[in-house]
Structure 1
Amino acid sequence: MKPIIDLTAVSVERTGERVVRHVDLRVIEGSWFGLIGANGSGKTSLLRALAGRLPFAGGSCRIAGVEMIADRPARAMHFGFSPPADTLPDALRGREVLELVGGNIETIWLRLGPLRGALGLDALLDRWIGDCSAGMRQRIAIGLAFAQGHTRVILDEPFNWLDPVAAFDLRQALRAMVDNGLTLMTALHDLGTLAVACDAGIMLASGNVAMALDSRLLVTAAQDPQAFERQTIERLRAASAP
C-alpha cells in the first residue's frame, strides 16, 4: 500500500545541533503511527518539522506523493497540529480559542465527532484558560488539532496530564476516528498505548531510529505487552547508552 507520508533520510536541527538524523518512516493513510523514545530522543522535533513548525535540515518529505521538504507552509496546511497546552492564551475562554481556530462551535463539534465527549469540552467552553488545570488545557489543545477538520493530525504526547478515565476515553475515540479514515501520528511515552492502539511506529534514540515497529510486531506486542515492554526498554537502554 502506498504511504500518504513518506520521509527518507530526514534530519532536523535545533539551535545549531542536529537532533534528528537520517530518519526514514512511512505512514499509510487511515492508520495510527506512533513514535516512542526517551526525553530528548527527537520525537517532538521530528513531528514539529513534519507539521511545518520547524525546517528540515535534509532528506525527502513526500506528502500525498508531493515533495515538500523545503516548503514549511505547505506542510503546515496538510496537518492538524496540537499546540503545547501551556502556550494557550490565559485571557481567552475555551470557546474563544476553539472558534479562533475552527470557526463556529457547531461546525467544530461536527469535526471533532467522538472527541467532543471524550475530552469533556462542553464543560470547558466558558472557562478562562488561565483558570484551567494542566489536564484541562491539554484537552482544549487536542481539540484545536481537529477544529479545522483535517484528515491528517499530529499530536505530541496527547495523554500527558490526563487522568486515567480521560486517557482511556481519548484513546478509544482516536482509534474510532482512525478506523473511520483519520491518519494520526502521535509521540508517546506509554508502551501500552503503542502496543494496543497503534498500527505501526518507530522507536527513536538520540535522534536515530533504534527500532521499526511494523503491524505484525505490534499485534504480537498486544498479545504479550509485558514481554514487549521488557524488550523495548532493553533496546532503548542500549540505543541511548553513551
Structure 2
Amino acid sequence: MQPKINKDETILSVKKLGKKIGGRDIVRNLSFEVRAGEIFGFLGPNGAGKTTTIRMLVGLASPSEGSIHIAGYDLQKDFMKAISHVGCIVENPELYPYLTGLENLELFARMTGIPDERIFKAVEQVELTDRINDLVRTYSLGMKQRLGIAQALLHQPKLLILDEPTNGLDPAGIRDMRSFVRQLAREEGIGIFISSHILHEIQNLCDRVAIIQNGQLLQIGPIDQLTGVHSLVEWKLEPFEEGLLLLQSLPYIAKVLQTGNSKVTVQMPLDKIAETNHYLLKHDIRVSEISPRRQTLEDLFFDITGGFGL
C-alpha cells in the first residue's frame, strides 16, 4: 500500500538565509520551500553559492542569518530531530569496493541502529535487488549511485538532497536515475532537492526550480511556467542588416541574438509569426527560414545569468 502523500506539506523551508565568509556575502537573503513528493531543482553558475547552501542544509556550515526548517524542526535549534529527516548524496558516494552492496548497507545500518527490514526496502526502492550480493567493485557508476541513495534512504528520510547525481553517468544510467528519483517522489512522497549542471535533465525531471547567482535568488517557479512565458523564433533574412533593423523595431520583439550568417533568433509570441513575416515581405526582406521553438531551461538560465557557465 502506497503512503498517502500530503503535497501541501512543507518538508524544507529556507527563509532569508545568509552566509558570510571572511566578511564576504556568499549567500544572501535566500528563501524557498520544498514540498512532499516534489522534485526541486537548484541551479546557479559556478561560484553562485550552491555548495555553500547545500552545506548549510545538511549542517556542515552554520548560517550567518536566516533559518532552515526540515520537517518542521529548526536545524539550528533542534539539529538531531531536523537532520534525522534528511538523506544526502553528494556526487560519487563513498563505498567499500571489496564488500558486497548488502554488506555496505549492513555496515551503515549497524552504526545507526537501523533494522534489517529497512535495508531490503531501500534496496527495492533503488531497484538493486538482483545485484545487491555482488561486490561493489563490479558495479557500474550508475549502480554505485543507486547504492549510495539506498544508504541515504535507510532511515526513511522525508528530504533527499542530491548534488550532481548524474555526474559521470552514461545516457542509460541517467535515464535510470531519472526514473527512480521520480518514483521516490511520486510513490514514497519524499521531497527531493537536486543540484545539477545538466540543464536538460533538470528540465525533464524537476517540478520547480530556483536559479541563484552571486548568492541571491534570481528566479523561482514551476519549470513549465518559467519556460513557457516566451517562445524563440529563428529568422533567415536577406538583406540581413535591413531585416534585423525592421525586426528590432517591432514592439513585441525581445532579446535579439544573431545566430549565424543571415540568421537571427528573437523572443516573440508565436501568434505574431505570420504578421511579422508579412511586415518583412512588405519591406522587401526575403524570408527563407522561420524556425519557432519553445524556450528551454537552458535558454532561461543563460538569459537571466548573463551567460555565466554552471
TM-score by length of 2: 0.64
Distance in 2 (CA, whole Å) between partners of 1:172 and 1:90 is 25
Residue 73 in 1 paired to residue 80 in 2?
yes
1:101–1:148 contact (8 Å) kept in structure 2: no
Distance in 2 (CA, whole Å) between partners of 1:233 and 1:125 is 45
Distance in 1 (CA, whole Å) between partners of 2:23 and 2:91 is 22
Deviation at 1:46, TM superposition (A): 1.3
Residue 177 in 1 paired to residue 188 in 2?
no
What are the residue-to-residue correspondences of 1:1-242 with 2, within 5 Å?
1=8, 3-13=10-20, 18-85=25-92, 87-89=94-96, 92-102=99-109, 103=114, 107-117=118-128, 122-123=130-131, 125-128=133-136, 135=142, 137-180=144-187, 181-214=189-222, 216-217=224-225, 220=228, 226-237=295-306
**Structure ranking higher on relative contact order (CA contacts 8 Å, 6+ apart):** 1
Please list every run of 5 or more consecutive structure 1 residues that lacks an aligned counterpart in the other structure: none
Distance in 2 (CA, whole Å) between partners of 1:215 and 1:91 is 42
2:93–2:144 contact (8 Å) kept in structure 1: yes
SS at match of 2:84: helix
Deviation at 1:49, TM superposition (A): 1.4
Distance change in 2, residues 1:83/1:124 (3 Å): farther
Deviation at 1:154, TM superposition (A): 0.9
> Larger % of strand: which?
2
Matched residue pairs, number? 235
Task: Summarize deviations over 1:185-242 as a string: whole Å, max 9, x none.
Answer: 1112122222222111201212211211335525739x9665432222121226x59x
Deviation at 1:176, TM superposition (A): 2.0
Distance in 2 (CA, whole Å) between partners of 1:18 and 1:90 is 40
1:10–1:59 contact (8 Å) kept in structure 2: yes
Task: Summarize deviations over 1:52-84 as a string: whole Å, max 9, x none.
Answer: 232222102223334333444333212011155
Distance change in 2, residues 1:49/1:74 (3 Å): farther
SS at match of 1:85: coil
1:13–1:19 contact (8 Å) kept in structure 2: yes
Distance in 2 (CA, whole Å) between partners of 1:220 and 1:34 is 17
Worse overlay, 85-94 or 58-67: 85-94
1:199–1:218 contact (8 Å) kept in structure 2: no
2:91–2:165 contact (8 Å) kept in structure 1: no
Worse overlay, 101-110 or 161-170: 101-110
Worse overlay, 15-24 or 142-151: 15-24
1:58–1:69 contact (8 Å) kept in structure 2: no
Distance in 2 (CA, whole Å) between partners of 1:122 and 1:147 is 18
Deviation at 1:29, TM superposition (A): 1.7
Task: Summarize deviations over 1:11-49 as a string: whole Å, max 9, x none.
Answer: 235677542222110112221111012232222221231
CA RMSD of aligned residues (A): 3.1
Distance in 2 (CA, whole Å) between partners of 1:140 and 1:17 is 38
Distance change in 2, residues 1:128/1:161 (3 Å): same
Q: What percent of counterpart residues are identical?
A: 27
TM-score by length of 1: 0.80
- What is the one-letter code of the residue matched to 2:49? G
- What is the one-letter code of the residue matched to 1:232? F
Distance in 1 (CA, whole Å) between partners of 2:299 and 2:193 is 24
Distance in 1 (CA, whole Å) between partners of 2:20 and 2:103 is 34
